[in-house]
Structure 1
Amino acid sequence: MKNTVVCTVILGALASGFGASSARAQGCLAAHTNSNMQSCITSNGHDMPQSTSAFLRHHPLTVEVDWRSFSSFRHFSGTVENTSRQVNGNFIPNHQNLYNISMDLQVSPRWSVNTFVPVLQGTRDQKYAPVQKVEIAGIGDMIVGVQGWVWRPPTEAGGNIAFSAGLKLPTGINNGMGTGRLANGTVQKVVADQSLQPGDGTWGFTLGSQAYKQTYFHTVGYFQGSWLFSPVDTTGVPTFRTAKGEGVMSATDQYIFRAGLSRHVPHVYGLAAAFGGRMEGIPVRDAFGKSDGFRRPGYIISVEPALQYQYRRSMISLSAPWAVQRNRRASVTDLANHTHGDAAFADYAVILGVAHTF
């Protein structure tokens, strides 16, 4: 067989289509899902079946588990880092582990149905607050949806584009009580910061697209983009903030865009390397509905090297998005109050994914 372009249609809690929109930004921006690194890769052809339709009939289900870990500690207002917070020791360390379980059922060569279940575990050291260290863990908002390719795979042109739509279910914990520790060591339950809430507990929907095209030297160009729409104004969960309009948490839209190049590593069976860029974040104003309440809008732009290894019906992927620009934009309440809050961002994240087709 000739070199064949294989495009994995699994996403990590908002990736391969609708998944990507719920990507979690590397910091206090309250996006609550993952985006896996299973993008389009170049295969050497040995793992591809002679008949795609026959393969799908016998192996229609793919299950994937993704893990994303990062620690945010650099505070930004706009694109300017507030280095004084590190100097004065009042920066807020925020460490999070985000797990995403996704299932993709291929009902035909063109169409698939998907389910994404995110789980968050995090800690936050609020050095200046009465309750300093807060820990929380729980399930986020699930997404169920469908994805379809424009042309029936595999295409002779070496490229294709898919569109997806999904429904976000209010399964996520949005008023999670974290275990907090006072300065004297006393333990008590407190409402966790918005960045630690596993979900927002509201209905929403996602729209996404992904595409690939084989180019020169057996290199594949890829693109993924997705937007999570949250029409509900606020979650109704108190923030205990005193600034006008910031008494409850906002239900926010979220987005992610990724693009780059991927190529099979010569003479290494099943291994592909990719390099690209990604942008993810939360808008100041949602596309639908109001945008009241407290939110930390902004975005992070990263360069993203990645490796993928495929053996028969299993695949493992590893990537490390490294931030090149961080921007904590002024929120609706910031603009109304003539202020500009900040948010903590990480320098990089580590994303590991494992998938198997049954």
Structure 2
Amino acid sequence: MRATQSLTILCFIVTSFLGSQMARAQGCVAIRHFSSCVGTTLENNLLGAGDIQIGSNYRYFKSFRHFRGTEEEPDRVANETEVINHSHSWDFFLTYGVTDRLYASITIPTVINTRSSLYEHGRDERHTTFSRGLADIRVGMGYWVFDPVKHMNGNLALGLGLKLPTGSYNASDIFYNVGPEGSPQVRPVDQSIQPGDGGFGITVDFQFYQKIAERFFAYGGGFYLINPRETNGTRTFRETLSPILQNEAIMAVPDQFSLRAGVSHAFGANFSGSLGARYEGVPVKDLIGGNKGFRRPGNVLSIDPGIAFMKNNFSLNLNVPFAVRRERPQSVTDKETEEMTGEPRNGDAAFADYLINVGISYRFGSKKVKVDPELMDEFKN
């Protein structure tokens, strides 16, 4: 088998599990859309010097199931009082091979979001608010710890990136029955559908793969977004719902994280599949900076099946993670309110049952990566 074919097989086998890395966040009111700047497909990141990979990833979810802690509140759906978010997001990315081990990437995300609720419109009528536009751009670099040419059976990549506050974090729409004498009023939309969060952020990223059998690879990856800014100044109007929510009057700029692991397998010349788990969410407290302002902390554990198609320089992948555990833990403001009133307090959040991630990419190669002939036997059919 030729060297270039061996590299293609390696990229192909693992493409299916990292194919949705650009759109990782499980659909959830608690967890806004975010993707790591360098956590694209393995095939994207195994580049020779001067190679360029371009592509796009699409994500959709509908969140509507309400949870407090890990307990679902099914009466919200039964009584038709649930909050329903529809989220569409497109990430457009470009990755450049600086060397065979070092790569740089830029991700330009866009979103279209809708949010239907009763409580935001006087509680008697259901109305929908809307947001769209550019989200927060990410730039970053990644580095393969081991030489990909000599370590095709396993490797580890580490990444570091910067999130720019390019998305609107005070997008507004019309809210009904909330103004003077029940008139409509223009207000910022809910935090969950704001295109941006208003803060400069730092991302740390990793991904790894390890061959475990012929055409079988174990994989893993994840990122953590550090958002040092505490609040962004955008008013939530939550204090108008109840005086005890005064500490939630301004939106926070929270951290976010995601972890994935599983197994990938090549089924033939052009198709591969993967099965794994992912755990992602918004923490109760940030690593750096304060924790004032309103946030909905939450986390989701999902089973994550995927399938990928790859031919020559073109790749297409689909992942449909579905939730098996959802949690909306007690926030900092929940605890403050509980201490102040002496009454238990744990806000809720609406989560999705599943999300859809679709990715497509094309690679422009300036040269082919050379593979050590001693490794050829490892990738023969």
Q: Same fold (TM over 0.5)?
A: yes
Q: What is the CA-CA distance between 1:216 and the residue it aligns to?
A: 1.4
Residues 137 and 180 of structure 1: is their aligned pair in 2 closer, same or farther, counting only changes over 3 Å?
farther
Alpha-carbon displacement from aligned partner over 1:255-290 (angstroms, at most 9, x marks no partner):
000111101113xx2211001000110000000111
Aligned mates of 1:222, 1:189 — CA distance in 2: 47
The match for 1:323 is 323
Q: Which residue of 2 aligns with 1:168?
A: 163
Quickly say closer, same or farther: Cα 1:249–1:137, change in 2 above 3 A.
same
CA contact (8 A) 1:37 1:317 kept: no
Q: Which of the two has greater helix per residue?
A: 2
Distance 1:138 1:96, change over 3 A: same
5+ long unaligned stretches in structure 2: 240-244, 339-344, 365-381
Q: Is the 8 A contact 1:38 1:308 kept in 2?
A: no
- Give the Cα separation in 1 of the matches to 2:119 and 2:322: 29
Pick the structure with greater CA Rg: 2
Whole-Å separation in 1 of the counterparts to 2:215 and 2:296: 42
> Which residue of the other structure, out of 42, 61, 77, is the alignment partner of 1:86?
77
Q: Write the letter of the residue equivalent to 2:48.
A: L
Query: In structure 1, what residue type is equivalent to 2:149?
Result: P
Pairwise mapping of residues 1-358 of structure 1 onto structure 2 (< 5 A)?
1=1, 4-6=9-11, 15=21, 23-34=24-35, 39-40=41-42, 56-57=48-49, 60-130=51-121, 132-156=127-151, 158-178=153-173, 189-242=186-239, 243-266=245-268, 269-338=269-338, 339-358=345-364
Partner of 1:48: none
- Which secondary structure state, in structure 2, belongs to the residue aligned with residue 56 of structure 1? coil
SS in 2 for 1:228: strand
Taking the aligned partners of 1:31 and 1:297, their CA distance within structure 2 comes to: 10
Q: Secondary structure at the match of 2:248?
A: coil
Letter paired with 1:91: E
After superposition, the CA RMSD in angstroms is 2.6
| Cα separation, 1, equivalents of 2:42 and 2:160 | 19
Equivalent-residue separation in structure 2 for 1:292 and 1:312 (angstroms): 50
The secondary structure found in structure 2 opposite 1:288 is: coil
- CA gap of 1:179–1:100, structure 2 versus 1, over 3 A, is farther
Offset of 1:101 from its aligned partner? 1.1
Change beyond 3 A, Cα 1:82–1:9? closer
Between the aligned partners of 2:184 and 2:360, the Cα distance in structure 1 is 37
Deviates more, 1:282-291 or 1:209-218: 209-218
Distance 1:11 1:270, change over 3 A: closer
More displaced, 174-183 or 277-286? 174-183
What is the aligned partner in structure 2 of residue 45 from structure 1? none
Q: What code does the residue aligned with 1:56 have?
A: G
Match of 1:49 in 2: none
CA shift digits 1:34-79 (9 cap, x unpaired)? 47996458xxxxxxxxxx9xx835x611112000001011000010
Rounded to whole Å, the distance in 2 between the matches of 1:92 and 1:324 is 20
Seen in structure 2, the aligned counterparts of structure 1 residues 179 and 354 have a Cα distance that, compared at 3 Å, is farther
Give the secondary-structure state (helix, strand or coil) at the position aligned to 1:287: coil
What is the TM-score normalised by the length of structure 2?
Answer: 0.82
User: Is the 1:235–1:248 contact (alpha carbons within 8 Å) kept by the matching residues of 2?
Assistant: yes
TM-score, scaled to structure 1: 0.87
Which residue does 2:371 correspond to in 1? none
Letter in 2 for 1:282: V
Would the alpha carbon gap of residues 244 and 175 (structure 1) be closer, same or farther in structure 2, given more than 3 Å must change? same
Work out the CA distance in 1 between the residues paired with 2:175 and 2:276: 39
Question: How many Å separate the matches in 1 of 2:94 and 2:108?
Answer: 9
- In structure 2, the CA distance between the partners of 1:117 and 1:150, relative to structure 1 (3 Å rule), is same
Instruction: Tell me the SS of whatever aligns to 2:150.
Output: coil
Q: Matches of 1:121 and 1:10 in 2, distance apart?
A: 26
Note if contact 2:17-2:219 (Cα within 8 Å) is conserved in structure 1: no
Counterpart contact for 1:300–1:323, Cα < 8 Å: yes
Deviation at 1:244, TM superposition (A): 2.9
Identity rate, percent: 33
Letter in 1 for 2:154: G
2:184 and 2:51 map into 1 onto residues whose CA distance is 48
Change (3 A) 1:153 1:104: same
Q: State the Cα distance separating 1:178 from its structure 2 match.
A: 3.0
Q: Amino acid of the residue matched to residue 341 of structure 1?
A: G
Amino acid at match of 1:163: L
One-letter amino acid matched to 1:270: N
CA positional deviation for 1:211: 0.3
One-letter amino acid of the structure 1 residue matched with residue 160 of structure 2:
A
Whether the 8 Å contact between 2:16 and 2:307 is mirrored in structure 1 is no
Write the distance in 2 (CA, Å) between the matches of 1:256 and 1:144. Answer: 18
Cα distance in 1 between the residues matched to 2:19 and 2:88: 14
Secondary structure of the 1:346 match is: strand
Give the letter aligned to residue 356 of structure 1: Y
Return the offset for 1:11.
7.5
| C-alpha deviation, 1:218, in angstroms | 2.0
